């Protein structure tokens, strides 16, 4: 009976977290571990949530990519963040792929929003803008293409 109560508590806490926003399985596991739940109870609860369709790395990845794209973040940074959250590389590829033709346009929008429409002639200013874009997660190649 004690184990069942513990599993119920784990599931309840996991559902509380999922009600706020989608989580990757690894992210949810870490949050539950930090609350000192038993590992076996955590695994059982996560398995049940997956079976019930309440926990989905696919849904999390899709939501995360859309959110970060709309926030003006580039593909390199999004890929890194998802890797940190334990999302499989194949899922990352699958959900970044639909945005393939839109990264350059997003990068130009981010540069223009921060620095205005005209590209500076001054080398130091161009490098400052290039660093900004690379820190946002855009590849050095695409950033250099923008300044040519």
pTM: 0.89
Q: What is the pLDDT along the chain (148 residues), one digit of tens a residue?
A: 456 678 899 999 999 999 999 999 999 999 999 999 999 999 999 999 999 999 999 999 999 999 999 999 999 999 999 999 999 999 999 999 999 999 999 999 999 999 999 999 999 999 999 999 999 999 999 999 998 8
Can you spell out the DSSP letters for 43-108? Answer: HHHHHHHHHTTS--HHHHHHHHHHHHHHTT--HHHHHHHHHHTT--HHHHHHHHGGGGGGHHHHHH
Domains of the chain: 2-55 (1.10.10.10), 58-101 (1.10.10), 102-147 (1.10.10)
């Amino acid at each position: 009976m004690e184990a069942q109560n513990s599993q119920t508590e784990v599931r309840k806490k996991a559902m509380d977290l999922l009600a706020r926003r989608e989580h990757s399985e690894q992210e949810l596991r870490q949050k539950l571990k930090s609350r000192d739940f038993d590992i076996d109870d955590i695994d059982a609860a996560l398995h049940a949530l997956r079976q019930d369709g309440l926990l989905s790395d696919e849904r999390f990845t899709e939501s995360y990519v859309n959110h970060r794209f709309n926030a003006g973040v580039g593909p390199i940074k999004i890929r890194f963040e998802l890797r940190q959250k334990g999302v499989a590389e194949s899922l990352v590829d699958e959900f970044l792929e639909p945005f393939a033709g839109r990264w350059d346009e997003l990068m130009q929008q981010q540069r223009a929003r921060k620095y205005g429409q005209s590209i500076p002639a001054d080398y130091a200013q161009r490098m400052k803008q290039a660093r900004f874009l690379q820190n946002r997660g855009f590849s050095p190649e695409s950033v250099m293409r923008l300044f040519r």
